[in-house]
Amino acid sequence: MSQGFTSQMARNIFYGGTTFFVLLFAALIFHTETKIPERSKAGEITEAVVRGKHLWETRNCIGCHTLLGEGAYFAPELGNVYQRRGPEFIKVWMQSMPTNTPGRRQMPQFHFTDAQLDDLVEFLRWTNGIDAEKWPPNIEG
């Protein structure tokens, strides 16, 4: 070590460090890819869930609501609404809109059929089952 820090030593540290972090990054990618299916409950996606998600997207629900923290913060978080309120409450709530409560902004009436309401509730049930690492932190969304 009397020579000090040589360019060969710097090169070895660079290549060794690069190799180590590339392997670490690859291991983290592999670990994440193996955990995603069990956390997302992808195996539980049914046709009703797909139709409910289609309703969610085409009616732009995310323009007002958040779902697992994503979306607008204008209306309540709906990632755990199935657990909080239950399927029947969701259906009745959707059918009773707008409530015309003074001083409160109103959710539009989408005129969903019973089958569409069932599909939307099924989508919210599936969303409630996703392991979101205890999100939302507040049970009321």
pLDDT in tens, 46-78: 999 999 999 999 999 999 999 998 999 888 899
Predicted confidence band of residue 8 (pLDDT cuts 50, 70, 90): very high
- b/e sequence 6-45, b meaning 16+ C-beta within 10 Å: eeeeeeeeeeeeeeeeeeeeeeeeeeeeeeeeeeeeeeee
- Superfamily the domain 41-141 falls into: Cytochrome c-like domain (1.10.760.10)
Domain boundary assignment for the chain: 1-40, 41-141
State pTM to two decimals. Answer: 0.76
Write down the residue that tokens 């399927």 correspond to.
Answer: 87
Q: How many helices (H) and strands (E) does the chain have?
A: 5, 2
Task: For 84-127, write each residue's pLDDT tens digit.
Answer: 999 999 999 999 988 888 877 888 999 999 999 999 999 999 99
